[in-house]
A and B are shown apart, each in its own frame.
Chain A
Amino acid sequence: MSAPPGLAVEHLDAWYGAAQVLYDVTFTVGRGEVVALMGRNGAGKSTTMKAVMGLLARRRGVVRLNGRDISGLKPFEIARLGMGYTPEDRRIFSELTVLENLDAGRQPPRHFADGTPAPLWTPETLFRLFPNLAELRDRPGGRMSGGEQQMLTIARTLMGNPLVVLLDEPSEGIAPVIVEQIADTIVELKKRGLSILLSEQNAAFAQIVSDRAYMLEKGQIRWAGTMAELADNTDVQRNYLTL
């Protein structure tokens, strides 16, 4: 029997108030796999992540984390089972310093479904991954640049030693040099066996770090395939990505 995928989403519907925003979304992310959710602004990428994390009050469908059904759980319970979430707007605690922000994300060590230990993160190991942060450790979160905040929000999520990471638009509004660093980080996390779901508008960025992609449009999945298939398929690119 093969191990269940890190993240499996089946027939997910979601609403903002009375407005339905996701329709029958189904996808998987395997262990050590990076999957990109792609599509234009407003296609439903961030909403999918929020629904998976339990942050949308009204949702329907099944979400499994390492085979375990987490559909009805609260966000903190989902996080404690090993799901890490970095929101698009980063949501750094602006009054807390870098170290304090990291501490707020701290959780106990964790194991993969097969019993092997998951990567264990401490502020020191994270500072090796993000050297810029090391110099800012006592800086309040509110006084950092967008790129620095982006690194901090990823680092804060890793402090929870997650098995699955949801990265919402990690490259948005960030200087190219930091985008590269974040790409390196994603590759590094993949190597360590984490399952990563990435939402991305930046096709170039997605090409580099991802294994597979799902194309979202108007809250529905319209196409699924490997990155190589996507690169060859100009129709899909034109229909769902370019103007």
Chain B
Amino acid sequence: MNWEGLAFQAVDGLASASGLFFVAAGLSLIFGVTRIINIAHGSLYMLGTYIAVSLASAIGGPLGFWGGVAATAIIVGVIGALIEIVLLRRIYSAPELFQLLATFALLLVINDAALWLWGPQDLLGPRAPGLRGSLEILGRHMPSYDAFLIVIAPVVLCVLHIVFVRSRFGRLVRAATEDRDMLGALGVNQSVLFTAVFALGAFLAGLGGALQMPREPASLGTDLTVITDAFVVVVVGGMGSIVGSYVAAVIIAEVKALCIGIGLVALGGVSVNFSKFTLIAEFLVMAVVLVARPQGLLGRPQIAVRGEAALEAPIRSASRTLTVFGIAVLVILAALPFLARSSPYTLVLGVDVLIAVLFATSLHFIMGPGGMHSFGHAAYFGLGAYGAALAVRWFAAPMGLALAAAPVAAALGALLFGWFAVRLSGVYLAMLTLAFAQIIWSIIYQWQDLTGGSNGVLGIWPNPPFDRLPVFFLLSLALVAAGVVLMRRILLAPFGYAMRAGRDSPLRAEAIGIDVKKVHWLAFAVAGTVCGVAGGIFAFAKGSISPETISIDHSVNGLVMVLLGGLGTLSGPIVGASVFAILQDFVMQETEYWHALLGGIILVLVLAFPSGLVGGFLRIAARWRRP
């Protein structure tokens, strides 16, 4: 280790902290006043970089660069205001889950809009006129622009501070963060305030994105990486605290810089490359803060109630018609290998649908009856897939053993992460689960020697007789059916009732002697375990897996499947997953803009069909029955 190198990295860390601060400050500000977590905030940052690069190259020179940066911030601010007026205003009183999903849909749509406007290639921006040189620090050269970034963040922090203290707008924002209803009773129109705050938050994100242009190219992947980083910063700093955002941005950036600075170290004979652990280090900081001080370093405690269940009809055990129907579907599926002998693709699609069904049903298990909105369920799918694949790769395990390793790996992960997750609620839980999925993703992505990194694991083929597609299909069908039936039984048994009791009224549940945290922790583990089975089947069905299985995209697909089917019924996720998997199969090949389409579907669901397909169907059926 070299102290000068470390110190230099520390200074460099301050430069990256500034970009992070701009996004996190906006995110935090918006949450403080509107209580909405804007997942699309990273997209605004990304738009900032794209727009700034376009303006700078179109106009050129100092005006193009510096004028472009200013214009970009304003343009993105206006986009933010439009988003608030057109979309968010409709969902302020919707359940938290829908708010998260709606802003996520926005992220998908913006990403495809950027793809359409700027193409898939990264765009390099010009260097900053007037700041092309470098400064000598600790015997090394540091770009002058980085020094500028180090200075600009605290300057903006001070400007914001002055705005919040000196202007009436700032005072109202602070008042609204504390008690927006009282502010309404004093004659302040919340809608206008909310739009203004959203515009300001978007302005900051756009500014942050624009200012990064000489350091990083405009890239379509930025939205997700930035929003995950910003989540971590906001959670660590405390929701609603701008100063907290700055402090946390610096801490996170420094921890990362430190990891890179330490680099390769020999620990007890094993050489460990710390620079690969930046993401993990970042999330470790967050996990520690969340457990020790759930409201964040400078945040004030939130009155967090776990996703209060909308009035939901009691779960009834299946009617005779439904049981008969279910058995009929099973029989038809079991006969599918014979029915579809002429088109083997049907079976490939069939396996995909079955995997999706198990994935969605296990997610619904914790989201619906458990009331825990996991935004990172793909983590357990991925753990299962990698558990199976790595058992094959490293231990040459036969398929049976590898398939058993899948749920074990997923269960261990779910037990570990679930222990943290059940201590939080609402948006915090959603963000933590998302963060955990990102940790798993980054471990697998970065630990190339073990996991094959971005290439994944190849050549995981089923043993005979399962190498024949019809047999493999039947195996999948049996496993998936067993998993679905198991979860259904659990939900109808005392344990499932205890889960719902803890969701419906945690106070009442505790008052009759239920340990709600423990019940929900176990539920989390059960869902993870079953999801791991889906991952195991997936590995053998595809023959190869990649970190893609754990991507946020995959987690969100699960959310859409559950939402499509509706949260309130047990058959919902089955229908939702089937429809989604088939739709994905047909549509994804047809369009380049699958993300935007998916985003559109989510928005339609959230705004028009909040109870999903099955819920909507039941409502129509009920109307038919009693005219």
Q: Please report A residues at the B interface, Cβ cutoff 8 Å.
A: 53, 55, 74-76, 79-80, 85, 87, 91, 93-96, 100-101, 103-107, 156-157, 160
B186–A103 touching, CB < 8 Å: no
B181–A75 touching, CB < 8 Å: yes
* B187 sits at the interface (CB 8 A): yes
Contact A91-B179, Cβ < 8 Å, known A79-B185, A79-B187: yes
Q: How far does the Cβ of A153 sit from chain B's closest Cβ, in whole Å?
A: 9
Q: How far is the CA of A195 from the CA of B569 in the complex (A)?
A: 54
* B190 sits at the interface (CB 8 A): yes
Q: Which of B166-174, B436-444, B530-538, B575-583 contacts A (4 or more CB under 8 A)?
A: B166-174
Chain B residues closer than 8 Å to A96, beta-carbon distance: 171, 174-175, 178
15 A-B pairs in the complex with CB atoms less than 8 angstroms apart: A55-B181, A75-B184, A75-B185, A76-B187, A76-B190, A79-B187, A80-B187, A91-B179, A91-B182, A93-B178, A96-B178, A100-B171, A104-B171, A104-B183, A156-B186
A94–B178 touching, CB < 8 Å: yes
A157–B181 touching, CB < 8 Å: no
B186–A79 touching, CB < 8 Å: yes
Q: How far does the Cβ of A157 sit from chain B's closest Cβ, in whole Å?
A: 7
* B225 sits at the interface (CB 8 A): no
Chain A residues closer than 8 Å to B181, beta-carbon distance: 55, 75
Interface size for chain B: under 10, 10 to 19, 20 to 34, or 35 or more residues?
A: 10 to 19
Q: How far is the CA of A91 from the CA of B171 in the complex (A)?
A: 16
A76, A94, A101, A106: which contacts B185 (Cβ < 8 A)?
A76
B189–A76 touching, CB < 8 Å: yes
- Other than A79-B185, A87-B182, A100-B175, give 19 A-B pairs with Cβ distance below 8 A: A53-B185, A75-B185, A76-B185, A76-B186, A76-B190, A79-B184, A80-B187, A91-B179, A93-B174, A94-B178, A95-B174, A95-B178, A100-B171, A100-B174, A101-B175, A103-B171, A104-B175, A107-B187, A156-B186
* Chain A interface main SS type: loop
Q: How far does the Cβ of A98 sit from chain B's closest Cβ, in whole Å?
A: 12
Chain A residues closer than 8 Å to B186, beta-carbon distance: 76, 79, 104-105, 107, 156-157, 160
Q: How far is the CA of A93 from the CA of B184 in the complex (A)?
A: 13
Q: How far is the CA of A160 from the CA of B186 in the complex (A)?
A: 7
Q: How far is the CA of A100 from the CA of B186 in the complex (A)?
A: 13
Q: How far is the CA of A69 from the CA of B174 in the complex (A)?
A: 32
* B329 sits at the interface (CB 8 A): no
* B158 sits at the interface (CB 8 A): no
Chain B residues closer than 8 Å to A76, beta-carbon distance: 184-190
Chain B residues closer than 8 Å to A79, beta-carbon distance: 184-187
Q: How far does the Cβ of B103 sit from chain A's closest Cβ, in whole Å?
A: 25
Chain B residues closer than 8 Å to A95, beta-carbon distance: 174, 178
- List B residues 166-210 near A (Cβ within 8 Å): 168, 171-172, 174-175, 178-179, 181-190
Q: How far is the CA of A165 from the CA of B183 in the complex (A)?
A: 16
10 pairs of A and B residues whose beta carbons are closest in the complex: A79-B187, A91-B182, A75-B184, A76-B184, A93-B175, A105-B186, A75-B185, A104-B175, A80-B187, A85-B185
Q: Of all chain B residues, which has the CB nearest A94?
A: B178
Chain A residues closer than 8 Å to B185, beta-carbon distance: 53, 55, 75-76, 79, 85, 87
B182–A103 touching, CB < 8 Å: no
Q: Of all chain B residues, which has the CB nearest A153?
A: B182
Chain B residues closer than 8 Å to A94, beta-carbon distance: 178
Q: Of all chain A residues, which has the CB nearest B300?
A: A95
Chain A residues closer than 8 Å to B189, beta-carbon distance: 76
Q: Of all chain B residues, which has the CB nearest A99?
A: B171
Chain A residues closer than 8 Å to B178, beta-carbon distance: 93-96
Chain B residues closer than 8 Å to A104, beta-carbon distance: 171-172, 175, 183, 186, 188
Q: Of all chain A residues, which has the CB nearest B171?
A: A100
B179–A93 touching, CB < 8 Å: yes
Chain B residues closer than 8 Å to A101, beta-carbon distance: 175
Chain A residues closer than 8 Å to B179, beta-carbon distance: 91, 93
Q: How far is the CA of A233 from the CA of B145 in the complex (A)?
A: 82
Chain B residues closer than 8 Å to A107, beta-carbon distance: 186-187
Q: Of all chain B residues, which has the CB nearest A160?
A: B187
Chain A residues closer than 8 Å to B171, beta-carbon distance: 96, 100, 103-104
Q: How far does the Cβ of A72 sit from chain B's closest Cβ, in whole Å?
A: 15
Q: How far is the CA of A99 from the CA of B484 in the complex (A)?
A: 61
Chain B residues closer than 8 Å to A75, beta-carbon distance: 181, 184-185
Q: Of all chain A residues, which has the CB nearest B165?
A: A100
Q: Of all chain A residues, which has the CB nearest B177?
A: A95
Chain B residues closer than 8 Å to A156, beta-carbon distance: 186
Chain A residues closer than 8 Å to B175, beta-carbon distance: 93, 96, 100-101, 104
Chain A residues closer than 8 Å to B168, beta-carbon distance: 103, 106
Q: Could you say which of B172, B186, B187 has the most chain A C-beta atoms within 10 Å of its C-beta?
A: B187
Q: How far does the Cβ of A90 sit from chain B's closest Cβ, in whole Å?
A: 9
Chain A residues closer than 8 Å to B183, beta-carbon distance: 104
Q: How far is the CA of A156 from the CA of B179 in the complex (A)?
A: 14
B172, B174, B182, B184: which contacts A74 (Cβ < 8 A)?
B184
Chain A residues closer than 8 Å to B172, beta-carbon distance: 104
Q: Of all chain A residues, which has the CB nearest B178?
A: A93
Q: How far does the Cβ of B499 sit from chain A's closest Cβ, in whole Å?
A: 24
Q: How far is the CA of A2 from the CA of B74 in the complex (A)?
A: 54
Q: How far is the CA of A95 from the CA of B178 in the complex (A)?
A: 8
Q: Of all chain A residues, which has the CB nearest B186?
A: A105
Q: How far is the CA of A103 from the CA of B175 in the complex (A)?
A: 10
Chain B residues closer than 8 Å to A53, beta-carbon distance: 185
Q: How far does the Cβ of B165 sit from chain A's closest Cβ, in whole Å?
A: 8
Q: How far does the Cβ of A63 sit from chain B's closest Cβ, in whole Å?
A: 14
Q: Of all chain A residues, which has the CB nearest B190?
A: A76
Chain A residues closer than 8 Å to B188, beta-carbon distance: 76, 104
